[in-house]
């Protein structure tokens, strides 16, 4: 069904995740670019990918490549995404879309001006339970509150290091941008309500971390002991709280931390409307808790036969057969390549768009400004449409 070749940049945590998800959809991964020709070659050999590129220009000039997946650290996203779109390639970029809103606004404009698909991988939207929650949101009544968290423990010790802790590689906002934006994207998608104002309190628990000499890939700290390290100053936050106002006046609270022992990758939300509520715990992604006032609460287990028709396209296994994190990539990409196959680039995509990725960058900047200035900060609507610079 999908007659397209894909090139991937980045060979760390996300490179294999994208490769696997694309292949499960029957999409050809034609080439890979790592941070050096040796890394490209090694990844190509390990994963059976025909081409190992040495430069990004080789991807741009490769006629076999119809789409590029960007899975490099954040600071590379803008240049490569821009170049790929200008070369006529569709782009699926990892989150966050760019390092700042000037860049993301530029990409929104560019994506509008070319007849191409442009998506950001906010994959949590594609859990079947996320789509179900989105379908059920209108039945909650007017949404009045949203609270939750996204917590992990992989940066718990000052000896834990990854490029994300450096503002120059990932942006000055770290935990909130890296994982908090997943939560914000998800609850906004489910409720249909945009976040319009934030009040943030952030904290860097370790102002100095110990960086191993040499490259360190994501989540590798627990597996690899590094003998040679150097002390580096850290200006990105380890954790933070954000008070939120949604466009309809609903209130929200978000807690984010990369230092919560035992929590490996824990995204939870509770959305309360004037009638009912929904609770989701990302450690049990096949379940949704539905809260009622006047009848017993319900527990919905993922089952295509019991779920909204919109979720059907994004469920491949029957009830009782769990679908999880890798499936959310597959389903996000299914939505992306369905869109390309349909060929109508004026249609509204179901996958996360560059405009939505830009909105997340604006939220990141508002969170940082709020923390620095100790006040509520409003997110600019006009910028959300990508019209201002």
Residue ranges that bind ligand NAD, judged by CB under 6 A: 9-14, 33-35, 39, 71-74, 76, 94-95, 121, 123, 163, 178, 215, 217-218
- Least separation in angstroms between residue 373's CB and ligand NAD is 26
Q: Whose Cβ is closer to ligand NAD: residue 291's or residue 326's?
A: 326
Strands 195-203, 277-281: pairing kind: unpaired
| CA distance linking residue 387 with residue 389, whole number of Å | 7
- Least separation in angstroms between residue 129's CB and ligand NAD is 16
Q: Whose Cβ is closer to ligand NAD: residue 95's or residue 371's?
A: 95
Handedness of CA 156, 160, 166, 169 (dihedral sign): negative
Q: Based on the number of CB atoms within 10 Å of its own CB, is 145 exposed (0-12), middle (13-18) or buried (19 or more)?
A: middle
- Least separation in angstroms between residue 124's CB and ligand NAD is 7
Strands 28-33, 5-9: pairing kind: parallel
- Say which DSSP state 351 is in: S
Q: Whose Cβ is closer to ligand NAD: residue 178's or residue 237's?
A: 178
Q: Which residue has the tokens 């997110």?
A: 379
Q: What are the residues whose beta carbons fall under 8 Å from the beta carbon of 177, sequence distance 6 or more?
A: 74, 96, 170, 171, 364
Q: Whose Cβ is closer to ligand NAD: residue 163's or residue 246's?
A: 163
How far apart, in Å, are the Cα atoms of 24 and each of 2, 16, 47, 119, 335? 12, 12, 14, 19, 14
| CA distance linking residue 323 with residue 8, whole number of Å | 24
- Least separation in angstroms between residue 220's CB and ligand NAD is 8
- Least separation in angstroms between residue 215's CB and ligand NAD is 6
Residue nearest to ligand NAD (CB): 12
Instruction: Determine contact, residues 315/304, Cβ cutoff 8 Å.
Output: yes
Query: For residues 154-182, b (16+ Cβ closer than 10 Å) or e, as one string?
Result: bbbeeebbbbbbbeebbbbbbbbbbbbbb
**Residue 51: its H or E element:** strand 51-52
Q: Whose Cβ is closer to ligand NAD: residue 192's or residue 324's?
A: 324
| CA distance linking residue 271 with residue 251, whole number of Å | 10
- Least separation in angstroms between residue 3's CB and ligand NAD is 26
- Least separation in angstroms between residue 45's CB and ligand NAD is 15
Other CB atoms closer than 10 Å to residue 197's CB: what's the count? 15
Instruction: Determine contact, residues 146/191, Cβ cutoff 8 Å.
Output: yes
Query: For residues 289-326, b (16+ Cβ closer than 10 Å) or e, as one string?
Result: ebbeeeeeeeebebbbeebeeebeebbeeeeeeebeee
Tokens standing for residue 300: 């919905």
């Amino acid at each position: 069904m999908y007659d397209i070749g894909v090139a991937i940049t980045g060979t760390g945590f996300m490179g294999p995740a994208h490769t696997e998800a694309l292949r499960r959809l029957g999409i050809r991964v034609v080439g890979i670019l790592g941070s050096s020709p040796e890394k490209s070659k090694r990844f190509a050999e390990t994963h059976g990918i025909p081409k190992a590129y040495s430069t990004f220009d080789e991807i741009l000039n490769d006629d076999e490549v119809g789409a590029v997946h960007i899975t490099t650290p954040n600071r590379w996203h803008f240049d490569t995404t821009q170049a790929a779109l200008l070369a006529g390639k569709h782009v699926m970029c990892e989150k966050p879309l760019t390092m700042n809103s000037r860049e993301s606004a530029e990409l929104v404009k560019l994506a509008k001006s070319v007849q191409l698909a442009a998506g950001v991988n906010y994959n949590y939207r594609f859990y079947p339970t996320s789509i179900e929650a989105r379908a059920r949101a209108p039945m909650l009544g007017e949404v009045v509150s949203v609270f939750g968290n996204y917590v992990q423990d992989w940066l718990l010790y000052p000896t834990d290091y990854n490029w994300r802790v450096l503002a120059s590689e990932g942006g000055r906002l770290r935990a909130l941008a890296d994982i908090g934006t997943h939560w914000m994207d998800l609850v906004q998608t489910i409720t249909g309500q945009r976040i319009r104002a934030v009040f943030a309190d952030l904290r860097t628990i370790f102002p100095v971390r110990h960086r191993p000499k040499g490259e360190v890939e994501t989540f590798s700290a627990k597996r690899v002991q590094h003998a040679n390290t150097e002390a580096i100053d850290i200006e990105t936050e380890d954790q933070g709280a954000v008070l939120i106002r949604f466009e309809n006046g609903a209130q929200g609270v978000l807690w984010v931390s990369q230092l919560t022992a035992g929590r490996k990758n824990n995204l939870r939300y509770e959305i309360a409307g004037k009638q009912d509520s929904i609770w989701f715990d990302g450690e049990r992604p096949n379940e949704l808790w539905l809260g009622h006032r006047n009848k017993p609460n319900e527990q919905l287990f993922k089952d295509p036969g019991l779920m909204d028709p919109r979720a059907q396209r994004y469920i491949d296994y029957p009830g009782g057969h769990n679908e999880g994190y890798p499936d959310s990539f597959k389903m996000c990409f299914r939505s992306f390549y369905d869109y390309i196959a349909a060929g109508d680039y004026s249609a509204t995509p179901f996958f996360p768009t560059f405009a939505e990725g830009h909105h997340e960058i604006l939220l990141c900047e508002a969170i940082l400004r709020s923390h620095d200035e100790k006040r509520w900060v409003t997110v600019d609507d006009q910028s959300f449409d990508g019209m201002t610079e």
